[in-house]
Amino acid sequence: MAKTQPPEGSPRGLTWATAAYGAGVLLNVDRVPQWVPVAALIFVIWRLMAASRPLRLPGVVIRSLLAVLLVAGVLLRFHTLNGLSAGTALLILMGSVKLLETRSQRDQFIVVAAAMFLLLAACLDRQDLLRAPLYLIQVWLCCAALAVVAYARTAPSSAAAPAGFDNRAAMLLAGRSLLFALPLAVLLFVFFPRMAGAFWAIPRSDEALTGLGDSMSPGSITQLTTSYDVAFRAHFDGTPPPPQERYWRGPVLHEFDGYTWRRTVRSLVHMQPLQYLGHAYHYRISLEPSAHRWWFALDTATGSPQPTVYFTYDYQLISMEPVTEGTNYTLVSYTSTRATSPLPQLARRHDTELSGDRNPKSRALAVKLRGGVASDSAYVATVLDYFRKGGFQYTLEPPQLGFDSVDDFLFNTRLGFCGHYASAFTFMMRAAGVPARVVTGYLGGEWNFAGSYFIVRQSDAHSWTEVWLDDRGWTRVDPTGVVAPERLSRGILDILPNAVSAPARFVWSQPWLAALLQRWDALNTTWNDRVIKFNYSDQLRLLERLGFQSPGAQQLGWAFGAGLVGWMLWIAWHVGRGAPRSRPDKLARAYIALCNKLGRAGITRESHQGPLTLASEVSKHRPDLRNDVDCLLLRYSQLRYGRPERDSYPAKVRDFERDVSRLALRAPASETPRR
Amino acid sequence: MARWIKKRQGLDSLPLTLSRRRLYILPTRAGVGYGLLLILMLVAGLNYANSTALFLSFLLIGFTLVAMHQCHRNLLGAQLVAATAPPTFVHRPGTLTLTFENSATAARFRIAAGVGEEPVAPTDLPARGRGRIDLPVIASRRGVVRIDRLHLITTHPFGLFRAWTWVHAPIEMLVYPRPNGSLPMPTHHGTKAGTRSVTNTGADEWMGLRPFRDGDSPRQVDWKAYAREAPLLVKEYSATGSELRMFDFGALSNLQLETRLEQLARWVVDAEEGGERYGLRLPDNFIKPDRGPEHRHRCLAALATFGLEDARRGEDTAT
């Protein structure tokens, strides 16, 4: 086989490949440093201008230099070429350098492939509902670009051919093909076995995500900027808990150094068995990705939803891996519990521990207040009373606290948010020998009427105290509720609207906009739950609903195979069938019937014979039939080829049809039949 | 492989409808690259349990399968109605004209044909229409050259698949010997070279004017009459008494066979161009003096097939 020069790409192919590539860059524009798409844009314009006017394209030296320079730029910015963002930036830059040397059809194919790769990168990173249509359009664009590139006119000699395959035809063809592919895509999506992490480990997200940390030092914060981002959504089966019960439990902080509360891992402590009281809440949480390993649950959960998630002795859910992907899980919680056994000594010691002798004034106050009451629960009420009446104020912009943060807060500033109150209250408890710990999490949530679920946002973050009371076990006490009772029943936005950014505030101030956003959020949630988080267990559940007994991978394979074969047959039939020949019209059918009758009578019409030559055949070989047949054949040729009289034409065709059907021809006589 | 295909399909006759049984399809190089891209997409989507990437790869997998059917369909049912090759000379570019008919209601695009492996000159067939491919063919020997095997190919619509078929139709092309040689043209039958006669003009007997026919030499056109806005007329001379040129194979006995034929072809071509009357004498054939394109063809064809009766079934030499 002689190796020839690769076919020259057409200008139209170049335009389309560039368009597909440019759209691919646009889809990634928010994921890479800004200079990357700008550089790509410059190269795209350069290439397009070079195609339309005599502008030189850079030679191999300049291209190599550019490539090295750009790789260095990416390295400088990311310190690696690995990872999704760095990889995408590199792909964009190298693709645009490739564009500069795009001449042949093969080069154009490569540029379209780069566009598809960019689409994949965008898909891997961003799965919003809003982007899904953009992705579909990009697939369409890429496929149409493939068609145009492939159609490239290689030889100018074939200019005589009709220009039937224009841009519109390419778009239509690609669109049609994708529509044909859609059923298979859905089928594969539903039945193709999923295997997360089967090929390589899933890297941690390199983006800083908001969320609760594992420590809390309220004294260091002078302005709490809360984010409007969603932490998770909660769908309840049946009635949701009342507002004052909507405490979502997160990390529990045990260790206090006088300034900062920390979470410490104490594996020696056994979980306190609990007696669950009241209503059992069954619900499903759709957790948003975060940098942490916390899974949130309505206080108090009854167990872990998954083997990979620990249920700790202080009733937190901690996953083995950070929540890099959105996750769904179902739980059962009781908002009221009672301990059935006394607190172990080890746990008591941990949760009454106050290292050093910091905050002496608060210690003295605690001892004094505890001395005045008989029981721990009375002491809790006394301290709460102290907060209520002590001139404390709720604010998100507290002054910075000194080294002895609790003393400074209780006796000096008296301004703070939930962290300050939880911290000071827990300290007061411990100083009086009452076991207590800080629980962080979320409080409340916004009810989405469109989807019937709660949206819990980062701005709903909260912290409270748990106190061990001998007759009840761990008891939740929320000192913030004493200072700002409205915080319990309403969101933080209602109390302190300035806590969030201006756009969020604007949305919150426009009820119609808020309602619209709620609907949008509900739609998004459905998208996330049904599509984005669709996984192996969902697949099995679906099979079960389809009637499979104890479904497994094998059943999944069968369902998948059956669907695949069905689709293949459908496509083969639909695309592969020859275009239907148009059905002969009424007149032609009657003529064919006449010819068939003649054939039975011994006169076969050859394909080159028209009606009149057939008539002469008849008169030559079967003069006996002439009277009947000749006139019919003449009528046919007049109807077919004569000038049609508009009004009488259909009637004449009908008459002809009738006369043909009435015609009875005698079989050939003794003479030998022709042919 | 080629032999097996030929055995499997048998010899074809035109018009030929491309049926399912004779169509073959494989991915192109671009298609293979694209397939690798799809696999990578699928693996990434599976590994990250990323529904969007998974759906994207599933959609593109479906798209690829559809593209395969469409590529197949682009050839399926097309009709090769005629393959004609006008005679040409050895080593001169000739043309094999393939005429296709598309009886489908959808157009077919980018159907290329080739005699060797590399396809050339794709054509588009409009819905219910015809298309033509002019295939350049160069023969390396004289005689009746059979184009044994024709390659019809398409990569439309997306360039990911290549559907093709082989046609083994009896397509024959007559290849004249290459006009070559520098011997002077003999004047007329019987006379020895050297005693040149007067040129035909004037010596021939004037017959009259007749309308121009294709192939008439421009020298014989009555241009003066044409300038007077008369139709194109040709001056005709009677054959009797006019100078004839008789090209005799036997007179060139000092040359080798092929060289002789080439010399004779040279003369025939030159004489025809000069508007002269000429005849040809071969050992097994005698062509009376005449002129005109048909006569020229008769002479050249006689030269082309001279001594080659058994070689008609010879191997294919056209490329």
Q: Indicate the domain borders of chain A.
A: 11-155, 223-351+437-491+499-507, 536-576, 586-662
From B174, B181, B178, B187, select the one nearest B279 (Cα to Cα).
B187
Task: Beginning with the edge strand found earlier in the chain, give each strand of the sheet holding A309-311 in spatial order.
Answer: A294-295, A317-319, A309-311
Whole-number mean pLDDT of chain A?
A: 82
pLDDT over threshold 60, residue B221:
yes
The backbone region for A258, taken as left when phi is positive above 0, alpha when psi lies in -120 to 50, beta otherwise, is left
Distance CA(A464)–CA(A441), nearest Å, equals 8
pLDDT over threshold 70, residue A158:
no
pLDDT over threshold 90, residue B58:
yes
**Interchain pair B61, A188: CB under 8 A:** yes
HSE (side-chain half, CA atoms, 13 Å) at B145: 29
Q: Which residues contact A44 (CB under 8 A, 6 or more apart)?
A: A18, A21, A22, A96, A99
- In angstroms, what separates the C-alpha of B179 from chain A's closest C-alpha? 28
Instruction: Identify the pLDDT of residue A4.
Output: 46
Give A338's strand partners: A275
Task: Read off the pLDDT band of A621 (50, 70, 90).
Answer: confident
Structure tokens at A359: 């905050």
113-152 in chain B: CB under 8 A from chain A = 116-118, 120-124, 126-127, 129, 131-132, 134
Instruction: Identify the pLDDT of residue A501.
Output: 66
Task: Report the range out of A215-224, B126-135, B182-191 with the highest average pLDDT.
Answer: B126-135
Chain B partners within 8 Å of A531 (Cβ)? 51, 55
pLDDT over threshold 70, residue A172:
yes
pLDDT tens, position by position, A218-232: 777 666 666 777 889
Instruction: Identify the pLDDT of residue A163.
Output: 55
pLDDT tens, position by position, A58-89: 778 888 888 888 888 888 877 777 777 888 88
pLDDT tens, position by position, B3-29: 777 777 777 777 788 888 888 899 999
- In angstroms, what separates the C-alpha of A536 from chain B's closest C-alpha? 9
Chain B partners within 8 Å of A575 (Cβ)? 66, 69-70, 73
HSE (side-chain half, CA atoms, 13 Å) at A172: 6
Of the two residues A657 and A158, the one the predictor is more confident about is A657
Q: Residue ranges per domain, chain B?
A: 2-176, 200-310
Lowest-pLDDT range of A55-69, A398-412, A529-543, B197-211: B197-211
**Interchain pair A196, B55: CB under 8 A:** no
Instruction: Identify the pLDDT of residue A494.
Output: 60
Q: Is B103 exposed, middle or buried (0-12, 13-18, 19+ CB in 10 A)?
A: middle
Strands, E, within B69-224: which ranges?
A: 79-84, 88-89, 93-102, 108-114, 120-125, 129-138, 143-147, 150-154, 161-167, 171-176, 205-211
For β-strands A393-394 and A415-416, DSSP reports them as: parallel
pLDDT tens, position by position, A331-363: 999 988 888 888 888 888 888 888 778 888 899
HSE (side-chain half, CA atoms, 13 Å) at A229: 13
For β-strands A215-216 and A261-262, DSSP reports them as: antiparallel
pLDDT over threshold 90, residue A393:
no
**Interchain pair B58, A581: CB under 8 A:** no
State the complex-level ipTM. Answer: 0.76
Q: Structure pTM?
A: 0.68
564-603 in chain A: CB under 8 A from chain B = 567-568, 571-572, 575-576, 578-582
pLDDT over threshold 90, residue B208:
no
Instruction: Identify the pLDDT of residue A5.
Output: 52
**Interchain pair B73, A189: CB under 8 A:** no
pLDDT tens, position by position, A83-110: 778 888 888 988 888 888 888 888 899 9
Instruction: Identify the pLDDT of residue B8.
Output: 77
Distance CA(A305)–CA(A147), nearest Å, equals 49
Instruction: Identify the pLDDT of residue A497.
Output: 58
Contacts 24+ apart (CB under 8 A), A570-574: A570/A183, A571/A180, A571/A184, A571/B65, A571/B66, A571/B69, A572/B69, A574/A180
Grouping H, G, I as helix, E, B as strand and the rest as coil, residue B207 is strand
| Residue of B64, B68, B69, B154 best to disrupt the A interface, most CBs of A under 10 A | B69
Lowest-pLDDT range of A202-206, B88-92, B113-117, B273-277: A202-206
pLDDT over threshold 50, residue B199:
no
Task: Report the range out of A465-479, A604-618, A634-648 with the highest average pLDDT.
Answer: A465-479
For β-strands B171-176 and B88-89, DSSP reports them as: parallel
Distance CA(A25)–CA(A40), nearest Å, equals 8
pLDDT tens, position by position, A402-460: 888 888 898 888 888 888 899 999 999 999 989 999 999 998 888 888 888 898 888 88
pLDDT over threshold 90, residue A265:
no
φ/ψ (deg, to 5) at B154: -150, 145
Q: Measured between CB atoms, which of B56, B122, B131 is closest to A123?
A: B56
Q: CB count, 10 Å around CB of B273?
A: 12
CB A466 within 8 Å of CB A474 = yes
Mean pLDDT of A471-483: 87
**H or E, element range at A244:** none
| Residue of B55, B71, B72, B155 best to disrupt the A interface, most CBs of A under 10 A | B55
Chain A partners within 8 Å of B101 (Cβ)? none
